[in-house]
Amino acid sequence: MKLYDSFRSALQSLVVNKLRSALTMLGVIIGVASVIAMVAVGNGASQQVQNTILSLGSNLITVSPANQSEGGLKGAGAQAQNLTLDDMRSLQAQLGSSVAAIHAEQGAGRWQVTAAGQNWNTNVNGVTEDYPVVRDWTLQSGDFFTSSDLTVNAQVAVIGSTTATNLFGEADAVGQTLQLRQVFGGGP
């Protein structure tokens, strides 16, 4: 049988069985569309996971004190000491140029922040000057504090956009004065 005859026979079969042909085409179209949709959803989810991991820092290493283990019991024995700023500086000196940046972070709990007649309850963290480099964060306005600010114990703060909006509205928060009061009891 020649190619032309095969083509003519197939075309004749399609014309005679219109409903079967339409249903077959519909099945193929739905199947291809489903595969394309599933690949798109999978790629989107994969990209979202990658972006989340990259926002943490793809080469980020966290060092924290932990309880010692004694006789197979975690937490048994003496409690671990807290890491200090001197420990961080020592790590920085030992690692030298093998790391791009190193920072310390300490959670201070919930605080009531007051400014310009407004107040806002938020989490407060103490960090060092390389925090934005390590976390790959940029500031919308103003500057991050420097190591000289830490050396002289300057009373400086970096606040997030939600806190800035709640305290100052649309006004620029840079250079404004804040008052902090610690919230006891872990309220919202």
Widest Cα–Cα separation across the chain: 94
The overall average pLDDT reported for the chain is 83
> What pLDDT digit, counting tens, does each position of 71-118 carry?
555 555 555 567 777 888 888 888 888 777 888 888 888 899 999 888
- Determine the pLDDT at residue 98: 78
For residues 150 and 163, give the distance between their C-alpha atoms in angstroms, rounded to a whole number: 23
Which is nearest to 157 in space by CA: 125, 133, 109?
125
For residues 134 and 157, give the distance between their C-alpha atoms in angstroms, rounded to a whole number: 18
The CA-atom distances, in angstroms, between 50 and each of 23, 43, 46, 56, 73 are 40, 10, 6, 10, 36
Region of 77 please: left (phi>0), alpha (psi -120 to 50) or beta. left
> What pLDDT digit, counting tens, does each position of 15-31 carry?
899 999 999 999 999 99
Which is nearest to 159 in space by CA: 94, 111, 101?
111
- Determine the pLDDT at residue 30: 97
